[in-house]
Structure 1
Amino acid sequence: MSVDIDEVVPDLTEETADYVTFDMAGERYAFPMRRVQEIIRMPVVVKVPLGPPSLEGLSNLRGRVLPVVSLRSCCAMEQTGHDETTRVIVVAGGVPLGFVVDRVSSVISIDPQAVEPAESVQATVRSDVMVGVIKSDGGAMTTVLDVDQLISSQFSRLTERQGTGGRDAVVAGPADPTGDRDDTLELVSFAVEGQEYALPIDQVQEIVQAPESISHVPNAGNRVLGVIDLRGRLLPVMSMRRVFGLPVTPLEPQNRIVVVSLEGGVVGMVMDTVREVLRVPQHLVAPLPTLMAREGRKTEVESVCRLEEGRRLVSVLSVSRMFDSPEVRDEIAECREDDQTMAAERGEVDDGRGDEELFVVFRLDDEEYAVDVDAVQEIIRVPEVLIRVPKSFAFVEGLVNLRGTVLPVVDLRTRLGLSRAERDEQQRIVVMIIGGARTGFIVDAVAEVARVGREVLEPAPELSAEQARVVSRVANLPDQKRMLLLVQVDQLLAADQAAAAAELCEATADEALAGR
């Protein structure tokens, strides 16, 4: 039986022996119909750096981000161009994935006994990605491919997120609408005085970089540092060090403010640094022992996560317990009242941007990337001459004398695995803070500062470990026919790379600048 494939709406609930057949390199292959969500024409894709070689890019599928991969590449076949017959088969699973094929043929229904297992036949593709072979009366053969093996062989991150990984905790990715999350705890981990703590992710509204200074509010309590401007809204800021009875240190570039919701508004908490997002199985989470739950800092800890076979302990805090004290709530309330009075005297009003984020948008290789506007120190032109640094990383272009300060400059194309580009007038250096030191990144052009609603922001598909760290989110803007790849600034350089680059710059800066 065969039908026009573009009119097929697969029934994923019915157990049948139906297969979608398609052609690649002159051979015929098939996917089980129960795994096929839909079939579409080749869409426009946004290329993603640091992904697997088979990744063609990301596409917008009715408002949802769809990773699109080359099935030829997955099967170690020679690549070919796309034409009018090219189709993308979208397979269902925890994360929808589109496989590019040369041409879709038909849907066939066969006797299950007609499928011979892979072990008994020979095939031109790797045997580990095939299930078996369908033999027809005319002698032709159709190779049935294993969807799960194709995904896991190229995209281990997707496999981890679907629950087949064996680690204690993994970096959290996009939400799985079909998965059961009752047996896992999602946390944002951070450090204070070298100790690792965490908050449930549903209690965290957002995380922002600490500013150079915080405006002091008169008569504020000792736990409240003051207020900062958060996209037009004034945010009371507390010090976790003071909450824990530790000495308060000056603000540094690696400090982060974790914004949490409280009755009557939000409050920010200054952390030494934010580490990662964890997804921890419930069996690794234990309540705090009763003997330890006494007055003082330990009352804020409601449970402890045992990671890495017990070598890593993460204390899970409770927002309600941290702000349960009447004194703390009074301090926050007084801070808000005093600040509202001062804001009124200054004529400041809330501009209603609380549901939006601001990004600096730049271009690399015809794609649009973005970083949080708070992470950008300044944007400068690329000088005609950069001071070369010997024996440095391949992506380090050299040094720039920025108003008397030595600034290391990185070619962002090279860092993201893209080809280098000739220098032109549109290129700019975006100056950001990495690992506590200012670092410049050369981009093809800076496009705009964009205000993006949070409802269009979603986690980027985790297609490789490095890509998942660097490109953390996607702003999907189908109405504008745009997709912004949101870059995690603190992941652009690994800790050892940032430290090595800083040391090398310090060691060579004086000599290099003196020789100019």
Structure 2
Amino acid sequence: MDEFRTSGAARDPRFLTFRSAGHLYAVPADSVSEVMRLPAIARVPQAPQSLMGLANLRGSVLPVASVRALLGRSEAAATPASRLIVLQGTSPVALAVDEVSDLVRIAHEAIRTAEADVAASTGERLQGVFESKSDVVKILDIPELLRVAFVARTTSLQKADVGAVSRAPACALANTVRARVVTFDVAGQEYALPLGAIREIVATPAHLTIVPGSDDAVLGIVAYHDRLLPLLSLRRLLDLPAAAGRGEQALIVSFDDVLIGFVADRIRAVISVDVERLEKLPPVLAARLGGETQVKEIYRAANDRLIAILAPDRLLREDVMKTLAQSDATIKSTRQRHAPEDEVVELRFLVFRLDNDEFALPIDAVDEVARVPDQITRLPKAPEFLEGVINLRGEVLPVIDQRRRFDMPSSIATTGKRLVVVRTDRHRAGLIVDSVLEVLRCSPNQITSSPDLAGDSHDVVRSVINLEASGRILLLLDPSTLLTRSERDLLDAFGKDRGKTSRKTRP
């Protein structure tokens, strides 16, 4: 998770240069908030080709646009050099590029805006060109490219009316817990902290306020939002050799209401942990370290790479933890005295998977979850999205292949597939999904509107559930818009024909 952050403006403009499909481009550095490695991206069904999906950037949901696709070029598999360039503004967007090259300062007179149209190749929109070393660099007009590629739409957050908490589905749902950790380097060794314990990752500030007489592990304090944040050196806490610098990035860990920043040499990545490859610290080593080592577990990653997973609460001395506990007790007592009488409303959603993407439906819209029947009756001249009909406890139920409905490739796998029976104000239908993951509880403030760049898919995915602690983004489906108007009319006609048939067959 390499990050680049811009600094103040200068007299001559600065540009961030990058490569895409072998070409060298640039964007103004003042428009860039940071550069990062490609995170997990939630693909939006039926979205414009240029929209790769949505990504979670420290709690904010950002649309990710492919520069290759914006320029009308074929996509390529991501490489270790691939990066996201996050652009700031009223509607932030991230650009996926093949490689970030350099940060350059160019004199005004060296930028040739008059040659923009002449230098532009098919699909390119340019603001100008300049020469850097032996290359000609094209300054992309990103706003114009986005305008051409996406239909601007006015969106509003339309949360599902889940009402009171409904009963859980009749079948047993296996909750899938995915352990994720943030890995980082300290003195040449790889460590990790649970992602759920980390509130944010920030660049270490250039200037720190030193606290006289503090522990040698305390690098200093900085202003963080509305509070003061102490920064502690992981090298010191782990008794590792000191370095000339103080470390590039700080992992902000929350101990209930108390925040502490732990400074690492370099953040590596966020990875999903296979719990079967986690091992406790060998007893002999734990005994030699007094049984209270900061290392909680050892993870055997790919290529026999060993990652030491730290326990956040063991990084600090006992007296420091007591001070934190006393502070927590005071804060909690104050909050209890001033807490509102009304309890926080929790919403419930059924989470399911299609391919590698996670979707959610309001639990009140779900009647049940069942195994996909072996026999599905095909209907002649049925629309492509309609897989057929089944008899579900005496009721004829239309079945929709949700992969096909979202223009996803078909899957030959049958293990784990489930039928999610959904009810709307006009219809009841079964949705075939790859697997059902969990019944999720979340608060309303974790639901945000889908970015405007979603195109036609915005009709179906109007909101997303942003699970900041685990880094997951769930696409929240609106049951009333799962079908287009023509498809709803087809089901209406199907229902009428079914009624006529049943009346004719009565004795």
The TM-score, its normalising length taken from structure 1, stands at 0.59
Residue type of the alignment partner of 1:140: D
- In 2, Cα distance between the equivalents of 1:404 and 1:459? 39
Q: Where do residues 125-274 of structure 1 align in structure 2 (5 Å cutoff)?
A: 125-127=122-124, 129-136=125-132, 140-157=135-152, 160=153, 170-172=154-156, 208=161, 229=164
* Residue 484 (1) aligns with residue 474 (2): yes
Give a deviation string over 1:423-482, Cα, whole Å, max 9, x none: 624212111123512111111112221111223221122323322121122112232232
Q: Secondary structure at the match of 1:480?
A: coil
- Where does the alignment leave 5 or more consecutive residues of structure 2 unmatched? 168-340
* Residue 107 (1) aligns with residue 103 (2): yes
Q: Are the equivalent residues in 2 in contact too, given 1:360–1:448 (CA < 8 A)? A: yes
What's the C-alpha RMSD, in Å, of the aligned pairs? 2.9
Give a deviation string over 1:253-301, Cα, whole Å, max 9, x none: xxxxxxxxxxxxxxxxxxxxxxxxxxxxxxxxxxxxxxxxxxxxxxxxx
What's the CA shift for 1:486?
0.8
Aligned match of 1:93 in 76, 85, 89? 89
- In 1, Cα distance between the equivalents of 2:117 and 2:98? 27
Q: Are the equivalent residues in 1 in contact too, given 2:17–2:24 (CA < 8 A)? A: yes
Q: Are the equivalent residues in 2 in contact too, given 1:361–1:368 (CA < 8 A)? A: yes
- In 2, Cα distance between the equivalents of 1:470 and 1:104? 35
Higher relative contact order (CA 8 A, sep 6+): 2
Q: Are the equivalent residues in 2 in contact too, given 1:434–1:498 (CA < 8 A)? A: no
What's the CA shift for 1:355?
2.1
- In 2, Cα distance between the equivalents of 1:413 and 1:8? 38
In structure 2, relative to structure 1, the CA distance for the partners of 1:7 and 1:80 (3 Å cut) is closer
Give a deviation string over 1:335-369, Cα, whole Å, max 9, x none: xxxxxxxxxxxxxxxx9864210011111112211
What's the CA shift for 1:120?
5.2
Q: Where do residues 293-312 of structure 1 align in structure 2 (5 Å cutoff)?
A: none
- In 2, Cα distance between the equivalents of 1:153 and 1:125? 14
Corresponding residue pairs, total: 330
Counterpart of 2:402? 412
Q: Secondary structure at the match of 1:69?
A: strand
Q: Are the equivalent residues in 1 in contact too, given 2:353–2:359 (CA < 8 A)? A: yes
In structure 2, relative to structure 1, the CA distance for the partners of 1:386 and 1:30 (3 Å cut) is same
What's the CA shift for 1:506?
3.7
* Residue 384 (1) aligns with residue 374 (2): yes
Q: Are the equivalent residues in 1 in contact too, given 2:162–2:363 (CA < 8 A)? A: no
- In 2, Cα distance between the equivalents of 1:379 and 1:40? 39
What's the CA shift for 1:491?
0.5
Residue type of the alignment partner of 2:428: R
- In 2, Cα distance between the equivalents of 1:29 and 1:57? 23
- In 2, Cα distance between the equivalents of 1:378 and 1:46? 26
Aligned match of 2:119 in 119, 122, 128? 122
Residue type of the alignment partner of 2:144: Q
Aligned match of 2:74 in 78, 82, 90? 78
Counterpart of 1:303? none
- In 2, Cα distance between the equivalents of 1:425 and 1:7? 40
What's the CA shift for 1:496?
2.5
In structure 2, relative to structure 1, the CA distance for the partners of 1:99 and 1:113 (3 Å cut) is same
Q: State the percentage of identical aligned residues.
A: 33
Deviating above 4 A after TM superposition, structure 1's stretches of 4 or more consecutive aligned residues are 5-8, 12-16, 229-232, 351-354, 508-514
- In 2, Cα distance between the equivalents of 1:130 and 1:60? 29
